[in-house]
Structure 1
Amino acid sequence: MDSITHTLFGLTLYGAVNKTNMTKGEKRALLLTTVAGSQIPDIDVISAWWDSAGRYQMWHRGITHSIFLVPVWAGLLAMVARAAFRVKGWLWFLIAMLAVFIHDTSDIFNAWGTGYLEPVTAARLTFGTIPIVDLVFWAVMAAGFAYVRFGRGRWPSYRVYRLVWVLMIAHVGIQTVQGMTILQQSKDKYEQVALAADFVPGVFTIIGKQEGMVTLSKGSLWTGFETVAELESREGADLDMLFANNAKAKTLVEWAPFVVIVDDGERIGVYDPRFYRNGQSFLAEYMDR
């Protein structure tokens, strides 16, 4: 997910805790662990500062997003909370664990994916059933905030935010059931297949590769799918020279489920077709011949 969504997740998690008997210091500790826990896996962005080997694509959303590091991040945040706000108990560790877990797990549902199981495997785990920026999440959280801020209902605020979480989890479940059904139906048509969710709920793009041809089909379970692009991949092209001159290209091939290879005599390159929009992909690496 994007940074704004992760921040909103942290604030919504903070709101879902019953703070009736908490001191001011405990509330501050809670805010720290929920919001910082919702952001801390993305600390890997600083690796771009020293990336001279073209490996950032693998480092970002890599080991820092591993499920095995969740208790490590939680322990660090709990120590900071206890030291800064003089609080005691296991709540800060447990709530930080939940915040980090939500961050790492929510990221596997969009097409970018994460190194969820690093260091066991470097493969990116991705379902592609939720867009990186999901406006449904924003709308549900905004509705919860508006009810708490302006509503006159009898529900305490923490129950409202708990309902918000239930609705968001239900949205992920509904999207994922649809996406996995679509993928299963597509596997017999292609050698390799991936999925990318649209901003409109229930709408997906199937990206299928068969004998050097990549087909993008957009639609839903209810409307069917229509081909929106056909991309030729030059599978016989020699990529050794590209990799030698552009390390990021080799990293992209390692990172993506599959790529489209371009070789038109003037340049050679690779791109990820899951992010193909308006005639090009924003994840692409080339070199001139």
Structure 2
Amino acid sequence: MDSITQALLGATVQASLLGRWQGRKALLYGAVLGTLPDLDVVIDYGDAIADMTYHRGFSHSLFVLSTLAVVLAWLARRIRPDPAYSGMRLFLTVWLVLVTHVLLDAFTSYGTQLFWPLTTPPVAWSSVFIIDPLYSIPLLLAVLVGAIAGLKGRSPRLAGVALALSTVYLGFTLAGKQMAEQRVETVMAEQGIQASQIFSTPTPFNSLLWRVIVIDDDRYHEALVSWFDDRPPELVAIPRGKQLAAVLSESPQHARLQWFTGGVLRYDEVAGQLLVTDVRLGMTGFHPFRFALAERNSAEWRLIPFVDRLPAERGDMSRLKEIWQRIWHQQPGLPLAEWAAELNRR
């Protein structure tokens, strides 16, 4: 999730457990601690794919953060002990602030390596967009009220209510994800589509309209599904360029990217370069993670040893407005094939 939401979550967790003793400082401590796992973004891992796939690695490991919570609680108890609450309560607070950060990240589509150093694939439950106001607003209100009215000596009911509401909302997003996939699977069965993988994710800034990706060999299908649809979803076929992946059989960057994304990738040849796109993230035709992994020299392909991330557009307000209208109105459908084709014309 975005850093502001993570800071709000950390502040609310700490306020709910230690606010009555630490007062407003609990909000500050929790906010700082809640953003700590994301400090790995300052590390240069070597190239753009390494930076992408090693982010949310060791700093988001449940094993590492549990150990860190022990160390931080011990140091805090040694440097500035407070007899009003126990060391166990302090440890539990620090641990929950850190762990809720990475668990919330796992609800997004990016991929979070919760079990590092194990080589299991990253966890991406992909039920929440990276910025979701409906999740963040209860936490923001709790933090604002706590900062204005104070917390010391008070029962932290509002913080607890905010955490409960945000948690219930996460459950709602999981229900939406299941709804969208079930509707698409019904259409797949009717059309005889055999998918090697299905990936679903909410569209930008909401959890009412879902984007479902169906990997089908050399193409992938995209469908949009809203809670308010009254007709079966339309599956739009988009070329995937799978045959180009053979060029990258010796590329360690491609192997790393496949592992990180679960293979939800698209391949395009543009201006003599082989571009690989993570189509999980962003929106159809607007994907923030796109890389040139090989270039054509005469009739032969040559791997690019140092990989950069290509510039990406974020879309525009007119597209966002169309997506918002699609939540409430199934017809007319959005031109997904046209948007996907535009990706190679920028």
Which of the five TM-score ranges fits, normalised by the shorter chain? 0.7 to 0.9
Residue of structure 2 equivalent to 1:73: 68
Residue segments in structure 1 that go unaligned for 5+ positions in a row: none
Q: Which amino acid aligns with 2:217?
A: E
Shift of 1:272: 1.0
Maintained 8 Å contact 1:33/1:81? no
Return the alpha-carbon distance in structure 2 between the equivalents of residues 23 and 53 of structure 1.
Answer: 41
Match of 2:34 among 34, 38, 42: 38
**Secondary structure in 2 matching 1:274:** coil
**Secondary structure in 2 matching 1:217:** strand
Maintained 8 Å contact 1:129/1:196? yes
Return the alpha-carbon distance in structure 2 between the equivalents of residues 86 and 121 of structure 1.
Answer: 39
Maintained 8 Å contact 1:194/1:207? yes
Match of 1:118 among 116, 119, 134: 116
Residue of structure 2 equivalent to 1:288: 295
TM-score, normalising length: structure 2: 0.70
Return the alpha-carbon distance in structure 1 between the equivalents of residues 232 and 58 of structure 2.
Answer: 36
Maintained 8 Å contact 2:245/2:267? no
**Secondary structure in 2 matching 1:118:** coil
Shift of 1:240: 4.1
Which runs of structure 2 are paired with 1:60-209 in the superposition (5 Å)? 60-87=55-82, 89-145=87-143, 158-187=156-185, 189=188, 190-198=195-203, 199-209=205-215
Shift of 1:174: 0.8
Deviations 1:140-180 (A, max 9, x none): 223334555779xxxx5610111011100010001112212
Deviations 1:82-138 (A, max 9, x none): 244234622221101111110111111111120122233330111111111111122
Are positions 1:216 and 2:211 aligned together? Answer: no
Are positions 1:268 and 2:274 aligned together? Answer: yes
Deviates more, 1:84-93 or 1:157-166: 84-93
Shift of 1:74: 0.7
Q: Which amino acid aligns with 1:4?
A: I
Aligned length: 278
Q: Which amino acid aligns with 1:125?
A: V
Maintained 8 Å contact 1:37/1:74? no
Shift of 1:264: 5.1
Change (3 A) 1:280 1:249: farther
Residue of structure 1 equivalent to 2:339: none
Maintained 8 Å contact 2:177/2:210? yes
Deviates more, 1:142-151 or 1:128-137: 142-151
Maintained 8 Å contact 1:179/1:195? yes
Q: Which amino acid aligns with 1:85?
A: R
Maintained 8 Å contact 2:108/2:129? yes
Return the alpha-carbon distance in structure 2 between the equivalents of residues 107 and 23 of structure 1.
Answer: 27
Change (3 A) 1:234 1:278: closer
Change (3 A) 1:51 1:277: same
Match of 2:54 among 36, 59, 64: 59
After superposition, the CA RMSD in angstroms is: 3.0
TM-score, normalising length: structure 1: 0.82
> What percent of counterpart residues are identical?
19
